Structure 1
């Protein structure tokens, strides 16, 4: 499983999440503590927003710990909203086009998880894309395809509904073609203004997600960046997260066409 971090707030140097903390994202790339595999060495990527609507992006297939450019960029780039990812491949080759974050116009997206039986589902999932989004697909991962499906289903107008429909479509297709469905999905995505995240799994075993204030803003991470346990709030499985000018909002999430899991009390992230 991959590890990722994301931030929204007053401009912050990327190194504050990527390289400086005791358990930074680079540290997690070779020593993750809350994942099935400790090593995430199949590439990395960062996407950050500045003065232009579309994000800047840097990706490579080297392990994050061995790329001197990553530390240098993270020390120099200051951004109010950015995503960073280290990859442990569950499908798709180790190539730059398969490294997260994925971007399309002003949107960026990174994911930790997988779709079971993706080799059986890939072609019918791709057939749902219009020509523009189909030709925008550069890699071979299930993550990128879920992102493009969400764009197809209206991500810019209703982000959580689009993600819900994309996951629900994958689950329904899997049941139809294989008799079962398993999607594990912990992802962050942004339009350059707000930061969104979803933690969900068909089997209620979604990859981990934590939230915490950092500087004058908030970050979302796969696992805490330090040992200050009280500073980190675990986001429950089956949750949608929105970080905007008003703070952090956590609400229940279920894919479309799936039965509701029942009410869930809102969480409060300490300021």
Structure 2
């Protein structure tokens, strides 16, 4: 069901959590610890995205397994960014294996990743898709649930100054339309990272000058903290960066855990 991570803080290279840590994103691609029935490996592509010095997003994506790209570890070492997102993909059956289907999805202001699946795709969310401008549907990067989630969220962000509220509302809307969906989302902007824990695992490591949000801890540091299921985590810049965790829909999450 994919693995992903996002960082916000003092400029750093993504090489550590992506390639060098004991349980890096690279290791998680072939030996994940907590897929929760969502597959065994994440070999259907990968992506790395960050905000460059000019404030715009940059991405490196491939449809092949991350361990087959000999250039990306060195590329990651050369990057120093205050915000970055990395992901490895385990494609849902019936969805294409293509570079355009790999996170992070991006525009000039945001990087986005989805770990999970929309149940009953595509019929279950046809009503939500109908609310998009036709041009947005025609511009979908791939015929996947993740690409549609990004299109829905990007459309909402255009007219909103509240990305936290928009991503929370998206989870609520998709869960209502497609019950049982797995909706671990990561949204990263220049001065914010938002993550949702909805059925899949999510953890946070807060340091003095940076915060990492990840599907699985990248090492055995005792500073890692799990985000409870049904909750949303928000990271904002500061010294140290602030981390806030709030419930998305605590009642529904509790019911699901007891089921």
TM bucket, shorter chain: 0.7 to 0.9
SS in 1 for 2:91: coil
* Residue number in structure 2 paired with 1:266: none
Aligned equivalents of 1:191, 1:153: Cα separation in 2:
15
**Over residues 114-144 of structure 1, what are the superposed CA-to-partner deviations in whole Å (9 max), with x where a residue is unaligned?**
1110132354332211144223311111112
Which of 213, 224, 239 is residue 232 of structure 1 equivalent to? 224
SS in 2 for 1:118: coil
The range that moved more, 5-14 or 162-171, is 162-171
Contiguous gaps of at least 5 residues in structure 1: 175-180, 201-205, 263-271
Q: CA deviation at 1:190?
A: 1.5
SS in 2 for 1:17: helix
**Over residues 169-188 of structure 1, what are the superposed CA-to-partner deviations in whole Å (9 max), with x where a residue is unaligned?**
333334xxxxxx22211111
Which of 173, 177, 200 is residue 173 of structure 1 equivalent to? 177
- TM-score normalized by structure 2? 0.88
Q: CA deviation at 1:259?
A: 6.4
* Residue number in structure 2 paired with 1:249: 244
8 A contact 2:187–2:195 mirrored in 1: yes
- TM-score normalized by structure 1? 0.84
8 A contact 1:48–1:55 mirrored in 2: yes
* Residue number in structure 1 paired with 2:117: 114
Contiguous gaps of at least 5 residues in structure 2: 255-259
Aligned equivalents of 1:66, 1:89: Cα separation in 2:
17
**Over residues 27-70 of structure 1, what are the superposed CA-to-partner deviations in whole Å (9 max), with x where a residue is unaligned?**
11011111133310000001101223331001001101111111
Poorly superposed stretches of 4+, deviation over 3 Å: 122-125, 171-174, 258-262
8 A contact 2:101–2:144 mirrored in 1: yes
